[in-house]
Amino acid sequence: MGPLEGIRVVEMAGLGAGPLCGMMLADLGASVLVIERPGHQSAEASAHVHEVDPLLRGKMRQPLDLKSPTHVELLREIIGRSQVLLESYRPGVMERLGLGPSVICNNHPSLVYARMTGWGQTGPWAHRAGHDPNYIGATGALFHSGRSAEAPMAPPTLLGDAAGGAALMTSGITSALIPAIRDGRGQVIDGAIAEGTNYLATYAQSFYQAGQLTDQRCSGWLDGGAPWNDTYRTHDEAYMVVAAIEPQFYACLLAQLKLTDHPLFSDLDQWERSRWGEQRAVIAELFESHSRAFWETVFDDGDACVSSMLTYGEARTHPQFQARHAFFEQSGQWFPAPAPRFSDTSWEPADSVEGAAARDYLRVLGVPEAALKALQDYRVSGES
């Protein structure tokens, strides 16, 4: 069940952002059929997998040999009976397979044809290889991460692949489905991870235009310059996150750190930059004098906007996440539950559906039995 129940998606197997987008569509209730190459997955495609591949959950898998004209024709048949085609190849690959928009969309004008690449379908870098850090590095977003004396480093795969790529493409597909279903007007979506990241940086760039972020790293309050918006090491080599930006939160921070009467802080003027260095030293020494657990207790009450920095392994035990069941267990592993939540449709984790069951789905779509005979010698990797 989900708000996209009844929507049929064909996903061309790929890496990273493409499969993550397909997972999001499946979590929203769409029927997602992954078209895979026959044989075993590459090391790159399986590097994130330990027993369970979360990017395949809720999907059906069918290998096709796209060097075979018979299999290409079968794929055209499947696409023609679906609402969405999602591919994340480099520009020109689908065209060389005879599956480009000029062919597919002309025959199926209501189709949403979603194309995910790093740099977009056009431009001087369109065919250039890249990964998450390359894309976010080109937007300016990477520049403001990390300390000024260290090389910038962003959280792996989150800002580019996951947010700028998969999440925005999911939004684009669901938006394009409205005119497709309502008026029969499909369209091609050109999703570039770099442009998606650039779009997500709109709010941050507005601070840059206003002079709150500059080309000098860690000099502004947003990127680590201010002592009341930073991270601090604790006595047990853990960290606390401080984001006491508004004056009422800053006052609460000083009260809970017992710094209200300290000469560096007593006037509550948090914007006096000349004191930021000395203030940071005082706060850092305080945090390093006790464990993270101690500070969690100190800041459990009050609105200082101070919280502990957790690892991925610790996150699922956070009381807020536990109360809202923000993680689920599958085959002994824990994965984040889908977000946002819908009042009228529930979600339950589902395994991927392989081989014969996927072919049953194609029969339900109405793919002719004669066309399905071409699949008899092909199996999903690992299927018996």
The residues carrying an active-site annotation are: 131, 161
Q: Would strands 112-117 and 333-336 be described as parallel, antiparallel, or unpaired?
A: unpaired
- Going by C-alpha positions, the residue among 303, 309, 312 that lies closest to residue 287 is 309
Give 170's contacts (C-beta < 8 A, 6+ positions apart).
Answer: 21, 24, 25, 28
φ and ψ of 85, to 5 deg: -120, 125
- The DSSP-derived string for 355-375 is HHHHHHHHHHHT--HHHHGGG
Are the C-beta atoms of residues 109 and 80 closer than 8 Å to each other?
no
In terms of C-beta density within 10 A (0-12 exposed, 13-18 middle, 19 or more buried), how is residue 320 classed? exposed
Q: How far is CA 158 from CA 154, 209, 224, 256, 275, in A?
A: 8, 25, 20, 33, 34
Between CA 76 and CA 83, with CA 82 as vertex, the angle to 5 degrees is 125
Are the C-beta atoms of residues 35 and 97 closer than 8 Å to each other?
no
Are the C-beta atoms of residues 350 and 55 closer than 8 Å to each other?
no
- Going by C-alpha positions, the residue among 202, 168, 185 that lies closest to residue 18 is 168
Q: Show the beta-strand stretches assigned E in 282-368.
A: 306-308, 327-330, 333-336, 353-354
Alpha carbon 43 to chain centroid, angstroms: 21
Q: Is 55 helix (H, G, I), strand (E, B) or coil?
A: helix
Per DSSP, helices labelled H in 28-167 are: 43-46, 69-80, 93-96, 101-107, 132-137
